[in-house]
């Protein structure tokens, strides 16, 4: 029996957050190849993707290389970062036989969808996107590029080219999903064709993982433990984490964010609660806490890191995964673009 839960749509925004049965569904997700994935990605989304795949969903994963240059002038070491993303995906359990893993830049028809899609969104709407506004506020660039302003529409092309039903995302990506839903609806309305389904967000259940300073784990804050880090580096990062001088370890996220973050991290790795761990460490102080966390992280990541090392030794295989993914994605994107051009009555469409 299939049970589909339907929740009322939120009144304020058309987000379509509605977890559905993953079997038989098409899932699109992706990452920007800007550097190594860390434990925040792992507990936030990577594990979830693997779970969806095991439950029978068809996965499309975009290595969003054109999205790298939204907030920086130059895409640094793009090929290396892209291949490392694929290594992280495979090491954490994605099966490339059934998942289609590809880079933006290898799928021309996906990118061409951006043009008709841009015509469906107003400049005022683009300017209201809260995630883009926040990124502009934090950008180190001296001016806002056209790509920064419009990349959510490009992301709509990522999602719609393969007619994805589900998009697993964190909270910050919800405005982008709303753009994709709007574009799908308006395209269908304007051209009278039911080409695009309306994708739904699948919100990650994992809490935002704090980094080693108690703030959100993020590469740019230097508080992240990469999947690719070795055991010594992990120990060093944890040792450098901000805690306090109180000997008795307690789980108090508001009062002791540094201690609480470390407890959460170890708890996720050991599938226990932060409170249980705190009790066990008791009067051991920060030193015992950090030892526990280092061991928990290293133990949890040991098989993933071993697999990572094997995969990293065979770059040719990784490149082949990307080539095969691009082939599949191109076939799907070409078909969708043909439908779009036909619906628009473009000259030369079949
Ligand atoms: N913007 C996403 C991020 O920064 C990456 C991304 C690109 C994405 N295209 C996507 C996520 C499509 C979901 C769906 O993490």
Query: Ligand 1 centre from 173 Cα, in Å?
Result: 7
Give the CATH number for residue 282.
Answer: 1.10.240.10
Share of the chain above pLDDT 90, in %: 79
Number of domains, the chain: 2
Tokens encoding 167 = 């998009």
Segment among 101-115, 195-209, 266-280 with least mean pLDDT: 195-209
How much is the mean pLDDT over the chain? 91
Segment among 76-90, 183-197, 200-214, 226-240 with least mean pLDDT: 200-214
Question: Residue whose CA is closest, atom 3 of ligand 1?
Answer: 31
Ligand 1 site-directed mutation target among 158, 170, 216, most atoms within 8 Å of CB: 158
Query: Ligand 1 centre from 132 Cα, in Å?
Result: 13
Q: Can you tell me the distance from the alpha carbon of 89 to that of 308, in angstroms, rounded to the nearest whole number?
A: 9
| Dihedral sign, Cα of residue 87, residue 93, residue 98, residue 102 | negative
Write down the pLDDT at residue 23.
81
Same structural domain for residues 338 and 230? no
Question: Residue whose CA is closest, atom 8 of ligand 1?
Answer: 30
pLDDT single digits (tens) 13-63? 444 555 567 888 999 999 999 999 999 999 988 999 999 999 999 999 999
pLDDT single digits (tens) 274-333? 999 999 999 999 999 999 999 999 999 999 999 999 999 999 999 999 999 999 999 999
Same structural domain for residues 264 and 334? no
Write down the pLDDT at residue 332.
98
Q: Can you tell me the distance from the alpha carbon of 347 to that of 69, in angstroms, rounded to the nearest whole number?
A: 33
Q: Inform me whether the pLDDT recorded for 349 exceeds 90.
A: no
Contact (CB, 8 A) for 64 and 159: no
Write down the pLDDT at residue 17.
52
Distances (CA, A) of 114 to 69, 81, 104, 235, 340: 16, 24, 12, 45, 11
* 3-class DSSP assignment, residue 141: coil
* 3-class DSSP assignment, residue 50: helix
Same structural domain for residues 44 and 165? yes
Write down the pLDDT at residue 5.
33
Same structural domain for residues 270 and 196? no
DSSP letters spanning 286-315: HHHHHHHHHHHHHHHHHHHHHHHHHHHT-H
Question: Does a structural domain hold residue 212?
Answer: no
Residues with CB under 6 A from ligand 1: 28-32, 62, 64, 67, 155, 158-159, 167, 169, 173
Same structural domain for residues 239 and 325? no
Which residues neighbour 280 within 8 Å (Cβ) at sequence distance 6 or greater? Answer: 292
> Where are the alpha helices (H) located in 139-284, listed in sequence order?
146-160, 174-191, 231-239, 257-270, 274-281
Q: Inform me whether the pLDDT recorded for 126 exceeds 80.
A: yes
pLDDT single digits (tens) 248-268? 999 999 999 899 999 999 999
Same structural domain for residues 280 and 342? no
Question: Does a structural domain hold residue 231?
Answer: yes
Tell which residue, 213, 209, 203, has the closest CA to residue 237. 213
Same structural domain for residues 146 and 255? no
Mean pLDDT of 64-80: 94
pTM, full prediction: 0.91
| Of 84 and 12, the one with more pLDDT | 84
DSSP letters spanning 231-242: HHHHHHHHHTS-
What is the atom index within ligand 1 of the atom nearest the CA of 158?
12
Q: Can you tell me the distance from the alpha carbon of 162 to that of 102, in angstroms, rounded to the nearest whole number?
A: 12
Same structural domain for residues 167 and 106? yes
Question: Does a structural domain hold residue 1?
Answer: no
Q: Can you tell me the distance from the alpha carbon of 25 to that of 164, in angstroms, rounded to the nearest whole number?
A: 8
Q: Can you tell me the distance from the alpha carbon of 25 to that of 46, in angstroms, rounded to the nearest whole number?
A: 18
Write down the pLDDT at residue 255.
93
Question: Does a structural domain hold residue 166?
Answer: yes
> Structural domain of residue 87, as residue ranges?
10-206+314-349
Same structural domain for residues 100 and 169? yes
Same structural domain for residues 98 and 119? yes
Ligand 1 site-directed mutation target among 26, 30, 34, 66, most atoms within 8 Å of CB: 30
Same structural domain for residues 85 and 66? yes
Same structural domain for residues 65 and 160? yes
Ligand 1 site-directed mutation target among 29, 33, 184, most atoms within 8 Å of CB: 29
Query: Ligand 1 centre from 148 Cα, in Å?
Result: 13
Give the CATH number for residue 40.
Answer: 3.40.50.620
Distances (CA, A) of 161 to 156, 174, 183, 208, 297: 8, 19, 12, 29, 38
């Amino acid at each position: 029996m299939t049970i589909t839960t339907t929740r009322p749509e939120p009144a304020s925004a058309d987000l379509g957050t509605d977890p559905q049965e993953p079997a038989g569904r098409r899932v699109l997700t992706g990452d920007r190849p800007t550097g190594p994935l860390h434990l925040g990605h792992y507990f936030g989304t990577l594990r979830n993707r693997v779970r969806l795949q095991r439950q029978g969903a068809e996965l499309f994963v975009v290595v969003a290389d054109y999205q790298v240059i939204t907030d920086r002038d130059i895409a640094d070491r793009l090929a290396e970062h892209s291949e490392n993303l694929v290594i992280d995906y495979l090491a954490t359990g994605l099966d490339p036989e059934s998942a289609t893993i590809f880079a933006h830049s290898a799928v021309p028809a996906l990118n061409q969808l951006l043009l008709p899609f841009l015509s469906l969104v107003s400049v005022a709407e683009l300017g209201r996107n809260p995630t883009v506004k926040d990124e502009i506020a934090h950008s180190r660039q001296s001016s806002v590029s056209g790509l920064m302003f419009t990349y959510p529409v490009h992301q709509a092309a990522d999602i719609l080219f393969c007619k994805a039903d589900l998009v697993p995302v964190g909270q910050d990506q919800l405005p982008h999903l709303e753009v994709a839903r709007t574009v799908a609806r308006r395209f269908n309305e304007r051209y009278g064709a039911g080409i695009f389904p309306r994708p739904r967000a699948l919100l990650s259940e994992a809490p935002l993982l704090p980094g080693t300073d108690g703030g959100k784990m993020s590469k740019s804050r230097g508080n992240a433990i990469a999947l690719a880090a070795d055991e010594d580096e992990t120990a060093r990062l944890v040792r450098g984490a901000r805690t306090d001088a109180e000997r008795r370890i307690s789980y108090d996220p508001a009062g002791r964010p540094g201690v609480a973050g470390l407890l959460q991290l170890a708890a996720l790795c050991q599938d226990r609660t932060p409170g249980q761990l705190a009790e066990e460490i008791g009067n051991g102080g920060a030193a015992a806490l950090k030892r526990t966390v280092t061991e928990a992280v290293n133990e949890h990541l040991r098989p993933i890191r071993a697999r990572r090392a094997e995969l990293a030794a065979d770059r040719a295989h990784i490149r082949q995964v990307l080539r095969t993914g691009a082939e599949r994605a191109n076939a799907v994107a070409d078909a969708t673009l043909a439908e779009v051009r036909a619906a628009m009555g473009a000259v030369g469409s079949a």
